[in-house]
Amino acid sequence: MWGTLCGKGGWLMTVRERTEEIERITLSPFATLSENSRGRAVPEKPCPLRPCFQRDRDRIIHCKAFRRLKQKTQVFLSPEGDHYRTRLTHTLEVSQIARTIARALRLNEDLTEAIALAHDLGHTPFGHAGERALNRLCPGGFKHYEQSVRVVTKLEKDGSGLNLTWEVLNGIVTHTRGEWAATREGRVVRFADHIAYMNHDIEDAVTAGVLRNEDIPAEITSVLGSTKSERITSLIMAIVEHGAEDIGMDAERAAAYEALHDFMYSTVYVDKVAKKEEKKVDGLIEALYAHFHDNPTHMPQAYLYIMWEEGVDRAVTDYISGMSDEYATSTFESLFVPQKWQIL
């Protein structure tokens, strides 16, 4: 049923096997071939249509945590306007930048896309403000990239996880800082994440009136360009021109890239207007944490199983970190804000 073209020996090949053959012929020697994956924690029969990384990509897109990203903060909390980024639109921009680089370098685009789409699945409501709050409250701390791995290995599909390949999990947990990914595709996603958020956060900050394009230092714009499109194109080209063997940039554009990063962290990410609501996040997250810690039966049944296996703090952290901004706010209001009397 799934047979397609014949291979060298004349045998009937599946669509997946034909795709894997195309990878062997067309991809760079530095690319990660689907057929060479280290596999999954729980072995599965191969799909007749999709190589393993494409299968992972599909599982990520269809999971609940991916859908919740549409109502999670990127930088600005509850912005009034249709065009500010959310965690979902950020994820899509990271994916597109990463795929552009991967295709140019003839790396595995399916693996690159899967890592990019999953990299922020563990992000808290209210962006990094929520992450800092949970990091303070949770014994052992909280890091969104570690939680992203937990989401796909433990929390999705009622506790069974998505059973993703080793390469995707490795790319997720290394996408932010510290040790680099084992694959070139994972390293591309780390760069793409930074390129995406710095540039779209500039655009959102200009829209919000907390930054002007002319505020960006000339030492940066003279190298990378003055517009979002110019900067993104310049940084993508820097990585592509550096080559697939060692994912990186030339010294001049790497220095401008780091300078832009430092500029954003000294201006937009600490701006009093942009961050004026973040102080409220601490109180909201802390109140929710205390309530569910003291009343664990108020959580859904799935989190009670986690409590029995790993303790109440782990269960509460998993529950709150998975909430969207809107759900966290409405839950807080239902618990702590007096409701109006309904008189018939």
pLDDT, tens digit, 9 for 90 and up, residues 191-220 = 999 999 999 999 988 988 889 999 999 999
329 in any annotated domain: no
How far apart are the C-alpha atoms of 176 and 134, rounded to whole Å?
18
CATH number of 51's domain: 1.10.3210.10
How far apart are the C-alpha atoms of 266 and 300, rounded to whole Å?
41
What b/e string do you get for 186-205 counting C-beta neighbours within 10 Å, with b at 16 or more?
bbbbbbbbbbbbbbbbbbbb
Nearest in space to 186 (alpha carbons), one of 138, 99, 115, 85: 115
Helical pair 109-118 and 87-104, crossing angle rounded to 10 deg: 160
How far apart are the C-alpha atoms of 268 and 201, rounded to whole Å?
8
Token readout for 204 is 């959102």
Nearest in space to 286 (alpha carbons), one of 317, 327, 323: 317
Q: Which residues contact 105 (CB under 8 A, 6 or more apart)?
A: 28, 30, 31, 184, 188, 239, 240, 243, 244
297 in any annotated domain: no
User: Whole-model pTM?
Assistant: 0.94
Coil, strand or helix: which one is 86?
A: strand
How far apart are the C-alpha atoms of 200 and 343, rounded to whole Å?
48
How far apart are the C-alpha atoms of 274 and 270, rounded to whole Å?
8
How far apart are the C-alpha atoms of 214 and 174, rounded to whole Å?
34
| Cα 106-187-40 angle, rounded to 5 deg | 85
- Residues composing the chain: 344
Q: Which parts of the chain register pLDDT below 50? A: 1-2
115 in any annotated domain: yes
How far apart are the C-alpha atoms of 31 and 264, rounded to whole Å?
33
- In single-letter form, the type of residue at position 297 comes to T
Token readout for 296 is 């664990």
313 in any annotated domain: no
Token readout for 78 is 């509850």
- In single-letter form, the type of residue at position 30 comes to F
279 in any annotated domain: no
Could you report the per-residue pLDDT of 107-122, keeping only the tens digit for each? 999 999 999 999 999 9
277 in any annotated domain: no
How far apart are the C-alpha atoms of 223 and 249, rounded to whole Å?
13
* Full domain range(s) for residue 110: 11-270
How far apart are the C-alpha atoms of 130 and 148, rounded to whole Å?
15
Domain total of the chain: 1
Supply the pLDDT for residue 177.
87
50 in any annotated domain: yes
Supply the pLDDT for residue 1.
46
How far apart are the C-alpha atoms of 301 and 317, rounded to whole Å?
15
